[in-house]
Amino acid sequence: MTEKTFHINLTCEDRPGIVAAVTTELAGLGANIAESNQFWDRQTNRFFMRIAVTAPEGVERDGLLRALEPAIARFDMKTAIADTARRPKIIIMVSKFDHALLHLLYQIRVGWLDAEVVAIASNHEDSRSTAEMEGIPYHCWKVTKDNKQEQEAKLLDLFKETGADLVILARYMQVLSNDLSNRLYGKVINIHHSFLPSFKGAKPYHQAHERGVKLIGATAHYVTPDLDEGPIIEQETERVTHAMTAEDFVATGRDIESRVLARAVKLHLENRVMMNGHKTVVFG
């Protein structure tokens, strides 16, 4: 007998009986719960649940959804069901710094990330050879203030044509417009350096070095119209010292950025991230 695995994400107003209602319907279908995570946000009284289930042969996504309909209607749930047999399709965007791109491609190659890269897009030619070596279509779109809207339209068309599920900004040094951010809300992940205090503009690691920063880090978040203020998925910091050079800071930053972005992408691809207003619920 061939079983299929599904991820079921549910959210609704919290009240008694939610877990019992969902698990009863799944049991009636003959599905087995392989993993279950839940969270009650007391401030908003929202309930979040992620279940990984194995379903008997012949049970597909639509069958699961029909089985859960009584519980969904009873509790007014927002529901998402993902078939793990389908590999998510991703578009990676990059500018000149390719460390985060290369790390993502490596983690996909060794199977730690389960995804299909359907395209690499950039505003520079620097990563074309990498794309060609990996057999991935490469799109170079030079971006200026005069053609930004046109280039974003190309990205949106590419997203639709490839059936992509996610866009990853792997150190893509262009700000997405409010319109595109809204259209792809929850489907674009960005990585950026994260300092206290925050250093903006050119050479942030050099600025940090000049100010004697003791911690540097990175933040992976969903892109929203509020620049670098979207719901956070993953973060990491690392201690640095006065004995390190600015170049040491840069090297440490590259390493952290690559790791944090890859972890955030993995959490998203495994449907472990749920939106909770301006925040996220992340089931590790």
| Cα dihedral 165, 169, 172, 178 sign | positive
- Which pLDDT score, from 0 to 100, does residue 203 have? 87
Cα separation, 193 vs 97, in Å, equals 13
Q: How confident is the model at residue 226 (pLDDT cuts 50, 70, 90)?
A: confident
Express as a percent the part of the chain with pLDDT over 90: 89
- Which pLDDT score, from 0 to 100, does residue 196 have? 59
What are the tens digits of pLDDT across the range 183-197?
A: 999 999 999 888 756
- Is residue 282 within 8 A of residue 270, CB to CB? The reply is no
Cα separation, 232 vs 261, in Å, equals 11
- Which pLDDT score, from 0 to 100, does residue 193 have? 87
Express as a percent the part of the chain with pLDDT over 70: 99
- Which pLDDT score, from 0 to 100, does residue 1 have? 52
Residues 6+ apart with CB under 8 A from 49: 8, 9, 10, 11, 18, 19, 22, 36, 37, 38, 39
Cα separation, 13 vs 196, in Å, equals 36
Which amino acid type is present at position 22?
A: V
State residue 219 phi and psi, 5-degree precision: -130, 130
Nearest CA to 112 out of 271, 262, 255 is that of 262
Respond yes or no: is residue 179 known to be catalytic: no
Cα separation, 152 vs 150, in Å, equals 5
pLDDT higher than threshold 60 for residue 172? yes
- Which pLDDT score, from 0 to 100, does residue 3 have? 82
Q: Which of 88-92, 133-137, 175-179 bottoms out in mean pLDDT, i.e. has the lowest?
A: 175-179
| Cα dihedral 10, 13, 19, 21 sign | negative
For residue 182 the two structure tokens come to 């809204």
Helix, strand, coil abundance in the chain, percent, nearest 5: 35, 30, 35
Q: Which of 14, 41, 228, 255 is catalytic?
A: 228
- Which pLDDT score, from 0 to 100, does residue 253 have? 94
Average pLDDT score over residue span 200-215: 88
Report in angstroms the alpha-carbon separations of 31 from 18, 50, 71, 87, 235: 17, 15, 16, 22, 35
- Which pLDDT score, from 0 to 100, does residue 202 have? 79
Cα separation, 216 vs 196, in Å, equals 8
Cα separation, 95 vs 3, in Å, equals 42
- Is residue 5 within 8 A of residue 82, CB to CB? The reply is no
- Which pLDDT score, from 0 to 100, does residue 145 have? 86
Map tokens 């983690």 to a residue. Answer: 107
State residue 130 phi and psi, 5-degree precision: -65, -45
Instruction: Give this prediction's pTM.
Output: 0.94
pLDDT higher than threshold 80 for residue 272? yes
Which amino acid type is present at position 192?
A: H
Nearest CA to 55 out of 19, 3, 111 is that of 3
Average pLDDT score over residue span 257-283: 97
Cα separation, 52 vs 82, in Å, equals 10
234-253: b (≥16 Cβ within 10 Å) or e:
bebbeebeeeeeeeebbebb
